[in-house]
Amino acid sequence: MKKKVRFSLVYRDMWQSSGKFQPRKDQLARIAPVIIEMGCFDRVETNGGAFEQVNLLAGENPNEAVRAFCKPFNEVGIKTHMLDRGLNALRMYPVPDDVRQLMYKVKKKQGTDITRIFCGLNDVRNIIPSIKYAKEGGMIPQATLCITNSPIHTAEYYSAIADQLIEAGAPEICLKDMAGIGQPAMLGKLTGMIKKNHPDVTIQYHGHSGPGLSMASILEVCNNGADIIDTAIEPLSWGKVHPDIISVQSMLKNEGFDVPEINMSAYMKARSLTQEFIDDWLGYFINPANKHMSSLLLGCGLPGGMMGSMMADLGGIQSAINNLRKQKGEPELTTDDMLVALFSEVEHVWPMVGYPPLVTPFSQYVKNIALMNLLTIEQGKGRFVMMDDSMWGMILGKSGKVPGTIAPELVELAKKQGREFTDTDPHTLYPNKLDEFRKEMDENGWDYGKDDEELFELAMHPEQYRNYRSGQAKKNFLADLQKAKDAKLGASATTPEQLAAFKHAKADAVVAPVNGQVFYEFQGGSEATPCLEPFIGQQYKDGDVLCYIQAAWGEFVPIKAGIGGRLVEVAAKRASFVHRGDTLAWIEREA
């Protein structure tokens, strides 16, 4: 019999790769004992990534959810692990060192054993500090290689990075094949190289199912020494998620590996509970397309974990593009047309921005550039017209060094806009902030929470936490849920179609280039107010600002009113949250 292979259930990532939200605390507490009863999991992913933010957006306390989910696994000796974005920790933009250090202390106290630390650029400068912080906090640091497929990303390239991370103190390496496009032969070769150089290091493989290579990749990495394989369970397995534990266990058992047996009665209970959570409310935020695999992903390399948000963004852009095409008398594009166009544009943009591995946040940045390009090309403006500071930050080196070469036309565009490239160690660019957040907690009379977990939550997700504390997040969530239920039932909560068509006949849609909260007044600095939206009939000149969107990374993005005209409808109410591609307003051009 071959070596022992262990399994991890990525329960958090199963949900993130399917839709927007995560199960509630009570649901996680119900399913944990059933996962244990299955008897085949050595590890379970309990939190990390977008977990904290989406709980706050739903008006729930993520700290309570993490503690409730981890506790049963801690009691029986099943290791829990989380996903950590290195420099960005648990969010989409950089986190100061003191907040990163606090995270590991808090998460260990909450019951999380292992932190999977990755940098979307595979820049070791963004991972090595977190290895140190994790050890200081009592956690096991699992350093991560973000796997992709390009002329640059060879087994030798990755093996050299693994050497540096292991030398820095990482006892484990994760091969994070976030898009499932890692070629099986390369992954097998890489696993063998790492094991040959570092036989005592634990290797864990994480591969999404999207383009269909993951089962072959699992077999290759196991035959070359991998120790642990990430898996999913029905009804969320496969599609853009991960292979199902039953298939993985069967394949490896047949290959002669020592693998644990599955308690099928418990598996069916876990399957039924997960479906119950979907039927209860989570399914309203799951795009059906995420249940399907697609070979098209091999070309663009977009990861499974962002498919839920991507489909929402795509719908908004599709609407804006089709409105433009309708005005020009051209046929509208279907969702399939848009997907093919988006994937093709990502393939075009990706090498131009230096082949960053397409994982959070860089997958979002590249996808956002491609989406905005589709819109601005349709508008006749060309490419790279709508790029915010975060997208530019990736290109300029503010988040780390991209592995490839930036295209000359982008270098020239940066120069024209007065932007400078840098090779500074990214984490030195962000001063400590905890004292400022302590002051805010004190001024509001907020308790720091058990083990400072509430202080940490404010420091990690300031805007989402404030909305959670004020109760606004729960109101927004309940409104979104009712809207989703109404849409499923065929109810209409919008202006009658005939009136909308009349209003929009001669008007242009102003669309959101980023996700975020809408503000209609901004005085500069870091403060804004979501004051009353402008009045219908207000006139705008070419280049006037309609509103501002505060993006997830904190930046206030000015939204121009197109080429000007008369405001005929405000679609985005003050303080509302919008998705990229959503229509903000309709402005009728002057005759």
The per-residue pLDDT for 361 is: 81
Task: Sheet with 507-511: list strands edge to edge.
Answer: 507-511, 583-588, 565-570, 539-540
Residue with tokens 């059933």: 34
Joined together, the tokens standing for residue 355 give 């082949």
Buried-state track 208-239, b at ≥16 Cβ within 10 A, e below 16? bbbbebbbbbbbbbbbbbbbbbbbbbbbbbbb
CATH code, domain with 533: 2.40.50.100
Q: At what angle do helices 184-197 and 155-167 cross, to 10 degrees?
A: 30
Q: Which of 270, 290, 310 is the last residue of a domain?
A: 290
Residue 518 in domain: yes
CA distances from 407 to 153, 345, 398 (A): 18, 15, 17
Q: How far apart are CA 328 and CA 331, in angstroms?
A: 9
* 314, 317, 322, 324 alpha-carbon torsion, rounded to 10°: -160
Residue 263 in domain: yes
Same domain, 315 and 413: yes
Same domain, 386 and 314: yes
Same domain, 508 and 385: no
Phi, psi dihedrals of residue 114, rounded to the nearest 5°: -125, 140
Same domain, 425 and 302: yes
Q: Which of 413, 429, 445 is the last residue of a domain?
A: 429
What value does the CA radius of gyration of the chain take, rounded to a whole number of Å? 24
Residue 370 in domain: yes
Same domain, 4 and 20: yes
Burial of 489 (0-12, 13-18, 19+ CB in 10 A): exposed
Q: How far apart are CA 437 and CA 456, in angstroms?
A: 9
Residue 177 in domain: no
Which domain covers residue 420, as residue numbers? 297-429
The per-residue pLDDT for 496 is: 47
Strand partners, 203: 173
The per-residue pLDDT for 504 is: 59
Same domain, 306 and 421: yes
Residue 417 in domain: yes
Which DSSP string do the residues of 566-578 spell out, in sequence order? EEEEE-S-TT-EE
Residue 193 in domain: no
Domain count within the chain: 3
Residue 108 in domain: no
Pairing of strands 528-529, 577-578: unpaired
Same domain, 507 and 554: yes
Q: How far apart are CA 373 and CA 301, in angstroms?
A: 18
CATH code, domain with 30: 3.20.20.70
Same domain, 283 and 314: no
Closest by Cα among 9, 62, 4, 63 to 34: 9
Residue 206 in domain: no
Same domain, 269 and 305: no
Same domain, 354 and 401: yes
The per-residue pLDDT for 503 is: 53
Same domain, 347 and 403: yes
Q: How far apart are CA 14 and CA 290, in angstroms?
A: 11
Same domain, 322 and 404: yes
pLDDT (tens place) for every residue of the chain, 591 residues total: 789 999 999 999 999 999 889 999 999 999 999 999 999 999 999 999 889 999 999 999 999 999 999 999 999 999 999 999 999 999 888 999 999 999 999 999 999 999 999 998 999 999 999 999 999 999 999 999 999 999 999 999 999 999 999 999 999 999 999 989 999 999 999 999 999 999 999 999 999 999 999 999 999 999 999 999 999 999 999 999 999 999 999 999 999 999 999 999 999 999 999 999 999 999 999 988 888 898 878 877 777 666 656 776 777 788 888 888 988 999 999 988 998 899 899 999 999 999 988 887 888 889 889 988 998 999 899 999 888 788 898 999 988 999 999 999 999 999 999 999 999 999 998 999 999 999 999 999 999 999 999 999 999 999 899 989 999 888 888 888 887 887 777 644 444 454 455 555 567 788 898 888 888 865 444 444 445 567 777 788 877 889 888 887 667 888 988 777 888 888 888 777 888 888 898 888 765
